[in-house]
A = this chain, B = another copy of it.
């Protein structure tokens, strides 16, 4: 019993995600978010409780869509060399897609204002370390299968690629040239033994 919910929760989260993605956490006001989500204060505080909780939901939503897509690109290729290249391609496709803000929501959320909220920080930490360990495991499998040499330092190289990716996703805020980035990626991967 009681009145039925009149808005689409998932769609509202998606719309909020787009706004946070474009403008960042602190810089996006709740009123703008509610306008984009097409719901009022009452509905919002009955379901989501707070701006911080909304941001967390948006991070999860982003991880389940964009993040999963990228992970799939990396892990579903038969060879790790193809996988990493597929990962970068997917990332660059996202950056090229005019429907998206030209940056990565999650990478962009590694900033002072977000990280000082411990729950948000913990989520980001967990998401990154989760991806990292899956990446390392994939590299180690490639070592065992013979695709990579026996003395390959999977842990360090995974970290290098992740760090480079983070720098890339930060750099495109200032300027973006896909062709130049593709060339850099190829040189990097070749140098790392991929």
A72 at the binding interface (Cβ < 8 Å): no
> Is A164 touching B160 in the complex (CB atoms < 8 A)?
yes
A156-B183, A156-B184, A164-B160 are contacts. A113–B24 as well, Cβ < 8 Å?
yes
Question: CA–CA, A184 to B170, complex, Å?
Answer: 19
Cross-chain contact A180 with B192 (CB below 8 angstroms): no
Asked if A5 CB lies within 8 Å of chain B CBs, one says no
CA distance A27 to B107 in the complex (A): 19
Stretch at the interface among A34-42, A53-61, A90-98, A171-179: A171-179
A15 to chain B, nearest CB (A): 18
Q: Which of B159, B165, B184 contacts A184 (CB 8 A)?
A: B159
Chain B residues, CB < 8 A from A111: 24, 108, 111, 173
Residues of B within 8 A of A108 (CB): 111-112
A-B pairs, top 10 by smallest CB distance, nearest first, are A167-B167, A191-B191, A24-B112, A166-B167, A163-B167, A191-B192, A160-B184, A156-B184, A27-B113, A111-B111
A-B contact pairs, 9 of them (CB 8 A): A26-B27, A27-B116, A110-B170, A111-B173, A112-B173, A113-B113, A125-B175, A164-B164, A191-B193
Please give 6 more A-B residue pairs, beta carbons under 8 A apart, in addition to A26-B113, A111-B173, A166-B166: A107-B170, A110-B171, A157-B187, A160-B188, A166-B167, A187-B192
Residues of A within 8 A of B (CB): 23-24, 26-27, 107-108, 110-113, 115-116, 121, 124-125, 128, 153, 156-157, 159-160, 162-168, 170-171, 173-175, 180, 183-184, 187-188, 191-193
